[in-house]
Amino acid sequence: MRHTSLERIPGIVAGLRHSFAQGVTRPESWRRAQLERMRTLLLDRGDDFEAALAHDLGKSGAEAQLTEIGFLVAELDYALAHLSGWMRPRRVSVPLAVLPASARIVPEPLGVALVIAPWNYPLMLALSPVIGAIAAGNAVVVKPSELAPATADLIAKLVPDVLDRRAIAVVTGGVPETTALLAERFDHIFYTGNGHVGRIVARAAAEHLTPVTLELGGKSPVYVDDTVPIAETARRIAWGKFMNAGQTCVAPDYVLGSRAVLRKLGPALVDAIHELYGTASAGNSDYGRIVTDAQFERLVGYLGDGEALSGGEYDASQRWIAPTVLKDVSRDASVMQEEIFGPILPLIEVADLDDAIALVTEREKPLAAYVFSSARAVRMRWETETSSGALAFGVPALHLVAHELPFGGVGESGMGAYHGERSFLTFSHEKAVLSKPLFPETLAVTIMPPFTKNKADLARGGLRRLL
């Protein structure tokens, strides 16, 4: 993978800031043109992006189109359809005492934004925040993940040829290049990844009082009770869990259920895995691979934390781990201590709903929680008694594709949100503008007489006359 020279980074950022100061990025016509060019790029070079994603993560063409390329095209279409409305100042009311006056909220771009992308969806998570940054009228630096080198190289090669180099730049490399970028002053930093690096990003941003959006992760729980059809529940859990070989920030991390429910759900998950990937996932082109040897070794270390109902096999030469369901997993097992981020699904027995909610709430707040129950009271308790970035009933992960839902975490799972209009607002400052006509005859009442028995009453009267 090509790395951007460290010496060039200050000049790149300075150049973008100059372009922003010159007003290059502010016109709606410029924003719209960049978004349209990005859309054309994704469609015209889709085969190249599919090949890069297959090289980096073993993604099939269908999965690449569904979760990366197609996702971005849909987001671009939504932004292009709503851009004019997002940019339009919004009138708001003023108190009666202030009349006559008018007030409005004017969205304005922040300046120069930095987007630091992860490796698990290296195209979508690199460009999705950029859509919001461009729509809001910012200049932007995007830093693709070095752990997905083929995709990073393709972004670095194609994006500068298609988008306006004066205001949009790609910086490639690893830790040194990211560190050099974080030493620069930006007007917003958007980071997707883990909490450890998120803290580093936040500390660097604090030096310049730069606002940050941190899209992190966490152990997203699934709760299943006996009021739902088990076979269909298992299909949906398996789909959400094993997509991208489990390397999805909102993938189901573990399943909670009573002994009776898990006794039925375990075999149903085995059937669902076979239905999705067959009995030989190592040869299935629709099933991905683990991104690095280090990640592979970490995941293999979890396989002994329970009895494998399905999977448990692996091949280091291919970085392949079979879709695995573990039963009889202790709550204190190593697989339950951090986000799994791989194709291993522990089943955790709970005594009842109270026990399940207690287990989730005593841990850090997850990026998502999934509940499979048709009981209204059960759903309401999860909604009111637990906190997570998102809560979904009956399906995992699909909240990502709802443009009008904010996507983001809470607590350890992140701060800030994006998607749809929320992306535009994330990279905007909502400026308060108030306008009041001047009447020369009111100026004299601002002078308070030197003697009064009730200055508070006089001050209120003076304010009324002034307004």
Q: Which are the catalytic amino acids?
A: 215, 249
Q: Which residues fall within 8 angstroms of residue 357, CB to CB, at 6 or more apart?
A: 381, 382, 385, 386
Residue 119's closest CA among 365, 240, 288?
Answer: 288
CB 414 within 8 A of CB 389: yes
- Measured CA to CA, the distance from residue 413 to residue 398 in angstroms comes to 18
> Greatest CA span in the chain, whole angstroms?
94
Nearest to 457 by CA among 465, 13, 257: 465
- Residue 303 and residue 319: Cα distance in Å, rounded? 15
List Cβ neighbours of 417 (8 Å cut-off, separation of 6 or more): 213, 406, 407, 408, 426
What 3 state SS string does the chain have?
CCCCCHHHHHHHHHHHHHHHHCCCCCCHHHHHHHHHHHHHHHHHCHHHHHHHHHHHHCCCHHHHHHHHHHHHHHHHHHHHHHHHHHHCCEEECCCHHHCCCEEEEEEEECCEEEEECCCCCCCHHHHHHHHHHHHCCCEEEEECCCCCHHHHHHHHHHHHHHCCCCCEEECCCCHHHHHHHHCCCCCEEEEECCHHHHHHHHHHHHCCCCCEEEECCCCCEEEECCCCCHHHHHHHHHHHHHHHHHCCCCCCCEEEECHHHHHHHHHHHHHHHHHHHCCCHHHCCCCCCCCCHHHHHHHHCCHHHCEEEECCCEECCCCEECCEEEECCCCCCHHHCCCCCCCEEEEEECCCHHHHHHHHHCCCCCCEEEEECCCHHHHHHHHHHCCCCEEEECCCCHHHHCCCCCEECCHHHEECEECCHHHHHHCEEEEEEEECCCCHHHHHHHCCCCCCCCHHHHHHHHHHHHC
Contact 237, 252 (CB under 8 A): yes
CA dihedral of residues 333, 334, 339, 340 (deg, nearest 10): -100
